[in-house]
Amino acid sequence: MVEILIFYLHILAWIYAFTKVWQEKGTKMAFLSFGILAFVFVILWTLTSPIARWIYPSKPISPYFTADTLSLLLLLIPESIFYYYYFFRAKF
């Protein structure tokens, strides 16, 4: 359940980023920015998943919080820093 909320947050961030870049730079750059965000998501999730499985016990404690949820929460930290520097702090 928590995973779905985190995925919805990612979808909203991707839509925001796409729209912002589309209005400022055009369609080609908007799709390129979407591709970069998807690439960052896949790479960071690949890196945080083994860390979460190492931290989280093998038996699930709760049906709502699993090792996948922990890996997605660990993913949000570096990804939010990346989004901040890429979209909010960057001067195009």
Show the 3-state SS of 33-88. Answer: HHHHHHHHHHHHHHHHHHHHHHHCCCCCCCCCCCHHHHHHHHHHHHHHHHHHHHHH
Query: Torsion angle, CA of 39/41/45/47, rounded to 10 degrees?
Result: 50
In total, how many domains does the chain have?
A: 1
pTM (2 decimals)? Answer: 0.81
Structural domain that includes position 38: 2-88
Q: How far is CA 5 from the centre of its chain?
A: 12
The pLDDT score that the predictor gives to residue 91 is: 61
The pLDDT score that the predictor gives to residue 90 is: 57
Nearest partner of 41 among 82, 5, 70, 85, judged by Cα: 82
Model pLDDT for residues 37-72, shown as the tens digit of each residue: 999 999 999 999 999 989 988 777 788 888 888 999
The pLDDT score that the predictor gives to residue 47 is: 93
Amino acid (one-letter) located at 11: I
